[in-house]
Structure 1
């Protein structure tokens, strides 16, 4: 819903679960009654036995608005470069990870559809993504990430250069990112420009920026755009590369969709992701992983409420 709101320049509201309370109650009742007559006839004598039970479970979920320092850390703080490469190390596709989370790498800029940062991608950026993915698929490159002093991290690359194809891609990546050809240990830091030829500087996006990128390409109803209710579509050149397609393709319609993976109703229209669009579904799932990754630090303790169940 918040992503759709951004398309209309409406204020999003972010909530978090502050507490979950389950109230359980068990009730039981047994009834016994009898009546006898001393005289005749005895047909009026009777005995009645009855029992009843009741079980109720009333869960209560409390939501609180995300604000203050937690809002800043969760949505406005750029993702950590070390955390992004940890996802790559865990097996996530390096090209998709960097395409979604990175604005620039060593001065090479990614495409942006956000109204505040509208720009086309540097051609070398897409070439680096493709080369890194080929290297990852070949399983000829290993990496290890360790924390250094301050906010920088250390990236140790272990390469198998026996494959000529992998070596060609490795040279392309190092030349494009202006890295020293023989450097095995690289410094990983946040920024748009590297300080030397052994540093990988990533200008990463925050979750708020990622939401804005997705919102900009929502297929809003044409009448809403014409009337100025929704932001116009990005004034970028038409798709010339598969990387220029929307990160998540969100459709709109007046009728409730039949094949929706996820759908919300807003401004008398349905906005939805097609269940047959595997790319958009996987990107949407990956965003949920990033939301968990963005939550850093120690969460404040919530009240503990004990409710007896008799």
Structure 2
């Protein structure tokens, strides 16, 4: 009997001692899982907005602003002696329960925050530094830039037959030649982007940011040819060591490059317009016709009746699944850059409607 009591006491002490480390043990696991869950949720929300725009449906954002994950550890133990038995025998038991009660707080993006996130153009001083971090500048500009100087990013599929300006030359070929060359120079280390902040101006509570572009000389004959073509397209003046990139369109001032950047709604709309949807959805009149396959698209979004296994992100909308294939690197890269631009466009939200969802597990 002494041995039995000793064994029970040891078990009780071990169970009581283990409960104090629950939070520390769960921290890393929870951080990884919740982080992955939020990222995947944001990816689905972006794809959902793309598909909704393709169907002329209203896009929207619902941001997770707070996550509280609480734990409750309950335990009990008893030890007694059964007096109605012979010989007298001790009895006891141990019970423990761990409960997790996460609470998520969401806030819809509305009002000024909606206007800023969806309708305000992204500034060149915010866009170009992304290329400094290693993002492919050609994909970045094809997504976020409407025009560079007089070179337009309007592809033919964005114009319809019969439009007043359907025959106008927007120098689109020069635009795509330019961003291709910029990517080659970026990969060769010959393209430099500098971000400079001016001193704080009196009676203003913000600091103005300026972004400059510079192209280094090279002894490589092939790269030198690309450098000369790129400088000519950008009207690079030999009087300036670097050119300032400013928001604007048309012919720039001396020493400047005009970039007309897009708003987030325009970026999503350009991508959405290139999404092909099922023929029965077109015949019902619920969406406009599909674009020509030969025009291509930065993001290839597939559709089907069943949810595929090998998907990067997928959503269900109007009787069909839409997804991006996990093996399609080009589409994944463009989609990820779109996600980053969406996060870049967000602003601090004022207190508004809040949705709090407690989850009991």
Asked if the contact 1:152–1:187 (Cα under 8 Å) also holds between the matched residues in 2, the reply is: no
* Residue of structure 2 equivalent to 1:136: 186
Mapped partners of 2:76, 2:187: distance in 1? 67
Asked if the contact 1:114–1:212 (Cα under 8 Å) also holds between the matched residues in 2, the reply is: no
2:133 pairs with 1:90: yes
| Aligned mate of 2:86, from 35, 39, 43 | 43
| Aligned mate of 1:191, from 226, 239, 248 | 248
| Aligned mate of 1:21, from 68, 79, 96 | 68
* Residue of structure 1 equivalent to 2:234: 177
Structure 2: give runs of 5+ residues left out of the alignment: 1-47, 200-206, 357-361
2:332 pairs with 1:275: no
* Residue of structure 2 equivalent to 1:58: 101
RMSD of the alignment, in Å?
Answer: 2.9
The offset of 1:100, in angstroms, is: 1.2
Mapped partners of 1:250, 1:115: distance in 2? 22
1:256-280 C-alpha deviation (Å, 9 max, x unpaired)? 2243221111111111112222111
* Residue of structure 2 equivalent to 1:8: 55
* Residue of structure 1 equivalent to 2:263: 206
In the superposition, the TM-score normalised over structure 2's length comes to 0.73
Asked if the contact 2:248–2:259 (Cα under 8 Å) also holds between the matched residues in 1, the reply is: yes
Comparing 136-145 with 113-122, greater Cα deviation is found at: 113-122
Question: Any idea what SS the aligned residue of 1:135 has?
Answer: helix
Mapped partners of 1:301, 1:33: distance in 2? 57
Relative to structure 1, the CA distance from residue 136 to residue 182 in structure 2 (aligned partners, 3 Å threshold; closer, same or farther) is farther
Give the 5 Å matches for 1:120-131: 122-131=172-181
Say how many residue pairs are matched. 293
The offset of 1:221, in angstroms, is: 0.6
1:132-175 C-alpha deviation (Å, 9 max, x unpaired)? 12222222333322134885614152512433333322222222
Give the 5 Å matches for 1:194-273: 194-234=251-291, 239=294, 244-273=295-324
Relative to structure 1, the CA distance from residue 19 to residue 32 in structure 2 (aligned partners, 3 Å threshold; closer, same or farther) is same
Mapped partners of 1:177, 1:100: distance in 2? 19
* Residue of structure 2 equivalent to 1:308: none
Question: Any idea what SS the aligned residue of 2:75 has?
Answer: strand
Asked if the contact 1:156–1:185 (Cα under 8 Å) also holds between the matched residues in 2, the reply is: yes
Structure 1: give runs of 5+ residues left out of the alignment: 306-310
Higher helix share: 2
| Aligned mate of 1:290, from 338, 341, 352 | 341
